[in-house]
A and B are shown apart, each in its own frame.
Chain A
């Protein structure tokens, strides 16, 4: 088999690569390690009620303990969605001494685009300039202006609803109309702004449509907020709802599922990738295809694994690793529930429908003034105001008719603010292959070494104090808060490992997401990130992918690769 391009992975960036490259006229092969999931046909639990599920939607905890001990910790993992997550027992990974890392994965057509949180934020020059500013990591070879038009393109295609606020640290975008904030959130926004004019709480910018995209067969959000089951309305962005049909429409896409990529073949004479090798997971047969260019979109850690496993005599430390930094400087946002408060005074308010997004309180520390206490980067908050329901009854005494009557009505309003702190890129946080262990396909398992440092702990300490102060100022009664990050991976924003940089001696990729060492290799998922920012990264992955595809096609046409 020979193609113009091979795309490894079908998730958020794989779908974008397939779309952009096929629309540019290339014949593309997409290889997905997991099973096929067809849009509108294979969302098996989408319309189920709790009483139609064996364990009422909560799931079989004993089974989860045995086979999903990591995935069960994901807040989107339920009995309704467990078929969209990997079985941990069948997909092992290793951890270094002292490492706590929860690696949440979805091996299927569409990857984690089916289960993602859909928060879509632009990064700013505070983020692209962060490494140069404080000396951690290596400088990004791009700035916001390089990416702005690609953010425009991506937002308009996937559909992002949100409110433009004119914030330098959270740039405006091409948004569909925002979803409204509820009464408590509106109050909170006003109360915070009154005392801290530079702090902006706004509705989450989410890849859920508030206006139909009929030309793409996508209906607006129905306010179910059960997105991770799969959405037959196509109302949230996923590979299935958006990029895959666009790519298939060209007639130039071939998709292979149940095929895990083992490695890339490299010709030392030409310095090029000459083929992609994979294992059919059902038959264990090995297959190979060739192409002019390869896009690695297997997910940050798995793309690094493919490179580390692609050793050759010329590249014994892994493909595109002449710098020796492949696998290093991995990151994930340090993440914790900074504060939760009761918000009395809103008992006369409620809402209808399930809004599939919360709110965001944009970064405000360490911008023009370095006012971080013990840290040099940023943190932001996501969360929202919600009313409790019957679940509150689990925490209180009571039985009988009066108790049942109480649980019949919406409970107190509460606000939660979850802190997301920038993660400093460190060489000691890294991925390697544990060749002493293999998975079901005979591939060496990935080993994660990861720890947060004093910067992240300091940021979350300040986030807790700030959140407490803001909620109290808004009339809230703070019940609890934390300044301890969850294990690495908790934010599900693992990134880095094949970082972009100016210098081939200290980075894996150049400013086009192209390997310094291998001209026809592009890595455009989270592996390419050089810093983490403190907002969700997926929109930036997509924009970088679209930009890299454009560059790659130009290079092909000009005969440069």
Chain B
């Protein structure tokens, strides 16, 4: 881990910073709501910046804001610490020996630390300052999803970036459509390539 948490960092500060970031971006603070993390899971500012940038590279600004802009990076850090997408599986270090050096004492992987190390390695320095960041990340992405590759920490992080974005108000209700109370069931409607999906299609969310 190249960055370290500020010694004075605490949950209140984190929430405060998050809220300010949200306000600056013109977004509701709830988009980056965070719950308490133990001190040893407190992310450094460098790590927060990295996850913000990586989220933005995966889902960039198009007609709607990108994932980094809506606080997805912080969501990913929160989600990794709390084990969403199996991120705290205790046997991950043993199951993925190539990444074992990033294992916590309980055997789970410090995904964000691994990502920081991996991207800096590929960039030959600070990834965040490197040119061609999208290409560097795309190369990692292709490797992680290559045929025959099973569990991979990037898959976990990417899954959480998607989750963070499409469950945000921007991703769920602007990029996609959201309808809490459809009020009717239309079983068969014509679809075109321009048809926009519903983030409130809970069956698709569960099984899609």
Interface residues of A (CB under 8 A from B): 47, 49-52, 54-58, 60-63, 65, 75, 179-183, 186, 221-226, 347-355, 384, 386-394, 396-401, 403-405, 407-411, 414, 416
Is there a chain A Cβ closer than 8 Å to B129's Cβ? no
Q: How far is the CB of B136 from chain A (nearest CB, A)?
A: 11
Closest 8 CB pairs of A and B: A388-B208, A180-B187, A397-B145, A353-B182, A61-B83, A50-B167, A350-B191, A56-B167
Known: A354-B182, A396-B145, A410-B195. 14 other contacts (CB 8 A): A49-B172, A56-B163, A58-B84, A61-B82, A61-B86, A180-B187, A351-B187, A354-B185, A391-B205, A392-B208, A397-B145, A400-B134, A403-B59, A411-B208
B138 touches A400 (CB 8 A): yes
Q: Which residues of chain A are near B141, meaning CB under 8 Å?
A: 397-399
Asked if B97 CB lies within 8 Å of chain A CBs, one says no
Query: A349 to B204, Cβ gap below 8 A?
Result: no
Give the dominant DSSP class at B's interface: mixed
Q: Which residues of B contact A52 (CB under 8 A)?
A: 30
Q: How would residues 33 to 71 of chain B score, 1 for a CB under 8 Å from any chain A CB and 0 otherwise? A: 101000000000000000000000111101000000000
Residue of B nearest to A350 (CB): B191
Determine which of A182, A222, A224, A394 lies in contact with B187 in the assembled complex, contact meaning CB atoms within 8 Å.
A182
* B19 at the binding interface (Cβ < 8 Å): no
A residues in contact with B164, CB < 8 Å:
56
Chain B residues with CB below 8 A from A354, complex form:
182, 185, 200-203
Check if B24 is an interface residue, CB within 8 A of chain A: no
Given A54-B35, A400-B57, are A386 and B84 neighbors across the interface (CB < 8 Å)?
Answer: no
In the bound assembly, the distance between CA atoms of A414 and B31 in angstroms comes to 32
Interface size on B, residues (CB 8 A): 72
Closest to A396 in B: B145
Task: Give B65-119 interface residues, CB cut-off 8 Å to A.
Answer: 75, 78-79, 81-84, 86-88
Decide if B142 touches A56 in the complex (CB within 8 Å).
no
Interface residues of B in 167-189 (CB under 8 A from A): 167-169, 172-173, 175-176, 178, 180-189
Distance between Cα atoms of A409 and B191 in the complex (Å): 10
- When the two chains form their complex, are residues B202 and A408 in contact, meaning their CB atoms are under 8 A apart? no
Residues of B within 8 A of A390 (CB): 162, 166, 176, 197, 199, 208
Are the CB atoms of A61 and B162 closer together than 8 Å? Answer: no
How long is the Cα–Cα vector from A183 to B189 in the complex, in angstroms? 9
For B175, what are the chain A residues with a Cβ–Cβ distance below 8 Å?
A: 404, 408
